[in-house]
């Protein structure tokens, strides 16, 4: 089975349409979306005239078999994450003004108003995002796969943190074992290719094919949206155990 994987669309409707055309040409059997469908930050993205949050959500609803929520999606609907990375949001987080939240956050979690344009979401889009899980386990014939926008205990990527060494992922690997998952795939990192981590090594791999090894692995795929980094998509071949990443060009 071939699984198309997209993440970090950030309202880039043109790149999303290109991704779905590519998956169709590659005859993918299913498509998974790993979050951050919406959220447009001025310093990083290059398509302000064509961004379309609602149409991106409509295409995800029509074409994706599994979808999880990301940190920018949560901000767009003013919802705090279920998995909080140990941060105490309190009961009234979004009723506080920006300065109060910034003081409380103390650079531990992301705040967005300094550079993010408000997503123009309709009621149907808000309802869709509200119902998305933070993490999902998918069963295949030969393994279980965990998908999320980021890693445990911050499945949505709401904290200002990114692991740099294999041992930083130990809690995530413990969660994978509890869920009996051999592999875990996330977005959020906007990597140019793949980040592949097992319990002993942490490596960045350029665009191309990556053979999944026998041990458990956490894998991060590229950003679909056009940013300051090369954007792309991924395809997981569940029979051959190969994860391939592809550049998108617009």
**pLDDT recorded at residue 70:** 98
Q: What is the mean pLDDT of residues 47-55?
A: 94
C-alpha distances (whole Å) from 38 to each of 7, 126, 134 are 11, 11, 15
Q: What is the mean pLDDT of residues 74-82?
A: 97
Residues 89-99 have pLDDT tens digits of 998 999 999 99
Residues 158-184 have pLDDT tens digits of 999 999 999 999 999 999 999 999 999
Q: What is the pTM of this model?
A: 0.96
Phi, psi of 130 (to 5 degrees): -60, -30
Q: What is the mean pLDDT of residues 195-223?
A: 94
CB 154 within 8 A of CB 190: no
Phi, psi of 60 (to 5 degrees): -65, -45
| CA 213/CA 103 separation, integer angstroms | 44
| CA 38/CA 40 separation, integer angstroms | 7
Report the range of poorest mean pLDDT among 45-49, 132-136, 199-203, 233-237: 45-49
> Per-residue pLDDT for 46 more than 80?
no
> Per-residue pLDDT for 15 more than 80?
yes
> Per-residue pLDDT for 63 more than 90?
yes
Q: Cα angle vertex 107, ends 105, 111, to 5°?
A: 65
> Per-residue pLDDT for 108 more than 70?
yes
Mapped onto helix, strand or coil, the DSSP state of residue 187 is coil
What percent of the chain stands above pLDDT 90? Answer: 90
CB 87 within 8 A of CB 109: yes
**pLDDT recorded at residue 86:** 93
Greatest alpha-carbon pair distance for the chain in Å reads 51
State the average pLDDT for the chain. Answer: 95
**pLDDT recorded at residue 218:** 98
> Per-residue pLDDT for 225 more than 90?
yes
Confidence bin at 213 (pLDDT 50/70/90): confident
**pLDDT recorded at residue 215:** 81
| CA 6/CA 28 separation, integer angstroms | 12
Q: What is the mean pLDDT of residues 222-246?
A: 96
> Per-residue pLDDT for 107 more than 90?
no
Question: What domains does the chain contain, in order, with CATH numbers?
Answer: 2-247 (3.60.21.10)
**pLDDT recorded at residue 250:** 59
């Amino acid at each position: 089975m071939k699984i198309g994987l997209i993440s970090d669309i950030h309202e880039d409707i043109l790149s999303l349409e290109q991704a779905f055309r590519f998956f169709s040409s590659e005859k993918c059997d299913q498509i998974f979306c790993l979050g951050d469908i919406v959220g447009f930050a001025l310093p990083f993205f290059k398509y302000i005239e064509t961004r379309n949050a609602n149409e991106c959500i409509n295409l995800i609803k029509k074409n994706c078999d599994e979808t999880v929520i990301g940190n920018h999606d949560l901000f767009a609907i003013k919802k705090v994450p279920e998995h909080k990375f140990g941060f105490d949001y309190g009961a009234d987080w979004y009723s506080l003004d920006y300065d109060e939240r910034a003081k409380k956050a103390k650079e531990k979690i992301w705040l967005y108003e300094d550079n993010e344009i408000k997503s123009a979401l309709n009621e149907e889009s808000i309802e869709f995002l509200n119902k998305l899980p933070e993490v999902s386990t998918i069963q295949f014939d030969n393994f279980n796969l965990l998908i999320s926008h980021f890693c445990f205990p911050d499945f949505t990527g709401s904290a200002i943190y990114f692991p740099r060494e294999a041992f930083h992922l130990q809690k995530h690997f413990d969660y994978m074992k509890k869920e009996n998952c051999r592999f875990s795939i996330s977005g959020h990192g906007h990597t140019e290719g793949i980040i592949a981590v097992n319990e002993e090594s942490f490596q960045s791999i350029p665009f191309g094919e990556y053979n999944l090894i026998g041990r458990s692995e956490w894998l991060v795929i590229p950003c679909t949206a056009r940013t300051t980094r090369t954007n792309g998509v991924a395809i997981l071949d569940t029979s051959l155990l190969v994860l391939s990443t592809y550049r998108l060009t617009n």
